[in-house]
Amino acid sequence: MTETTAFDRRMLEALICPLTHNSLEYDAEKQELISKSAKLAFPIRDGIPIMLQDEARRID
């Protein structure tokens, strides 16, 4: 694991859902942050989490 990956992981763990203010789960395979309470998946593009509702994908 590189320093960049470790830093990114800590940053991602500090983020919360902008709608519900609950914690998020990191999906490394899909490069998304999952908000189970909001039923949304926020994309991570080029290492940057896109925390906008309009950019999020609805999940069941």
Q: Single out the residue of 12, 8, 7, 32 nearest to residue 23, CA to CA.
A: 12
Nearest to 33 by CA among 48, 44, 19: 44
User: At residue 4, what are phi and psi to the nearest 5 degrees?
Assistant: -60, -45
Mean pLDDT, the chain cut into blocks of 10 residues (60 residues total): 52 87 92 96 91 96
Residue 13: the pLDDT is: 72
Which pLDDT belongs to residue 8? 66
* pLDDT of the residue at 46: 87
Q: Mind listing the domains of the chain with CATH numbers?
A: 3-58 (2.20.25.10)
Q: What is the pTM of this model?
A: 0.81
